[in-house]
Amino acid sequence: MYLTEPMMEQPTYYDLVYAVTRQVPPGRVTTYGAIADFLALGAARMVGWALNNSFSGDGVPAHRVVNRKGELSGRHHFPTPTMMQELLEAEGVEVSEDRVVHMDQHFWHPAEGLGEDWEPF
Partner DNA sequence: TGTTTGACCACGG
Partner DNA sequence: GCCGTGGCCAAAC
Report d(CA 90, CA 20) in Å as an integer.
Answer: 21
Q: Does the footprint of DNA cover residue 92 (CB under 7 A)?
A: no
Among residues 17, 24, 62, 103, the one that binds DNA under rule CB under 7 A: 62
Q: Does the footprint of DNA cover residue 77 (CB under 7 A)?
A: yes
Q: Does the footprint of DNA cover residue 79 (CB under 7 A)?
A: no
Q: Does the footprint of DNA cover residue 24 (CB under 7 A)?
A: no
Q: Does the footprint of DNA cover residue 74 (CB under 7 A)?
A: yes
Is the CB of residue 120 less than 8 Å from the CB of residue 19?
yes
Is the CB of residue 60 less than 8 Å from the CB of residue 68?
no
Measured in whole angstroms, the distance separating CA 98 from the mean position of its chain's CA atoms is 16
Residues 32-61 close enough to bind DNA by CB under 7 A: 32-33, 36, 41-49, 51-52, 54
Measured in whole angstroms, the distance separating CA 53 from the mean position of its chain's CA atoms is 11
Residue 66 phi/psi, 5° resolution?
-130, 170
Q: Does the footprint of DNA cover residue 31 (CB under 7 A)?
A: yes
Report d(CA 91, CA 4) in Å as an integer.
Answer: 39
| Number of residues in contact with DNA under rule CB under 7 A | 25
List interacting residues with DNA (CB under 7 A). 31-33, 36, 41-49, 51-52, 54, 62-63, 65, 67-69, 73-74, 77
